[in-house]
Amino acid sequence: MGIVIFIDMDYFFAACEELHHPEIKGKPFAVGTAPEASKIRGVIQTCNYEARAFGVRSGMSTAIALQKKPDMIYLESDDVYYEEVSKRILEILKRYGMAVEECSIDEFAIDAAALDYEKAFETGKRIKGEINADLGLPCTVGVSFGKTFAKMACDDGKPNGAVLLKEAEIPKFLSAKEVRKLPGIGPKTEEKLHSIGIRTIGELAKADTSMLLAEFGSIGSELHNLSNGVDNSKIIDSQEAVSIGRERTMESETNDLAVIDMEIDSLSDAVVVELKKKSYSYKNVTAKARYSDFTFRIKSRTLQNYSDSPAILKSVSKQLIRELITSKKMRKVGVRVSTLISSKGQNRLL
Ligand code: DCP
Ligand code: CA
Ligand code: CA
């Protein structure tokens, strides 16, 4: 590991929508999964910081969000557009000639091992300015030693910030933070840690290694390392990254979920066969629908952790394909996984 520049876009889907609808800038608004007409059946994907001030959050049902802010402006998400923007961000980052990992649709880790802290921080701020000038989008940058701590520094600078966290400052930075601030700790692991009396990263750092191993298996030692400021993850350049997908035209155009689910199951199985062949795990799932009028739409979801599970792929794809049901019938459906890592010899937080 070495110095990493980490970029995370601010209120990403909503910021993209602001570019198309400049008149809503500054007013509370959210982007959700469902079409406007049935919006309360869907989920909020993100919202601008003005809406966050009313307690609206990613992952909240739109019905609850509208209780918090009844006159909030609502837009249905347009994943094709956000993917395009994400690729344009990646192009900007690639100009610097360093390896870039696409960690999610709006997060990128740049390998700045060849630079010192000052130069890396300067470069990070320059990239931030360039993304803003070229695309009109705000982001936050974190620079630290290792991907995980660069991401955490970035989280601390949100929104529209820039944070430099040198290696020597990492233990102090970590110690008082709650364990869920460590990337890789989801609600279940958090609950389990709480139940054994561990609430802060500092407490996790001091916990007994063999106890953590017994309780959590190999992720226990990974978490212990991270809490002690040791990050062994590598940056996987986007050139090495691939996506694996399968699509199929159905026998007849349909909106019948029983038929569509069967297709999704079989496509997911085919994707997993390919994944296993290459020993990859996935973090991002995309479902695609091509309609009777030949237009298509996609929906994507980033998982909390890498997975190689066919069951997770099926269930996430089925959720996503439901979000693509419209009055137009589907003629073709697809399942794709991206943000892949080799599962051979990798530490994974499953
Ligand atoms: N997203 C989603 N469903 C979620 C969480 C996020 O569809 N439950 C999508 C919408 C977000 C994008 O992923 O715009 C990036 O997620 P982030 O967690 O990075 O959140 P934002 O970029 O929206 O806000 P910020 O990073 O400023 O906190
Ligand atoms: Ca973001
Ligand atoms: Ca993000």
From the CB of 158, is ligand 1 less than 6 Å away? yes
**Candidate list 17, 50, 102, 107, residue with the active-site label:** 107
Please give the model's pTM, rounded to 2 decimal places: 0.83
* Angstrom distance (rounded) from CA 1 to CA 176: 24
CA of 330 to the centre of ligand 2 (A): 31
Instruction: Decide if 17 is catalytic.
Output: no
* Angstrom distance (rounded) from CA 318 to CA 339: 19
Mean pLDDT (whole number) for 180-200: 94
- What pLDDT was estimated at residue 54? 98
Beta bridge partners, 248, equal 333
Q: Give per-residue pLDDT as tens, 122-179.
A: 999 999 999 999 999 999 999 999 999 999 999 999 999 999 999 999 999 999 999 9
How many CB atoms are closer than 10 A to CB 95? 9
Q: Give per-residue pLDDT as tens, 21-63.
A: 999 999 999 999 999 999 999 999 999 999 999 999 999 999 9
CB-based burial of residue 37 (10 Å sphere; 0-12 exposed, 13-18 middle, 19+ buried)? exposed
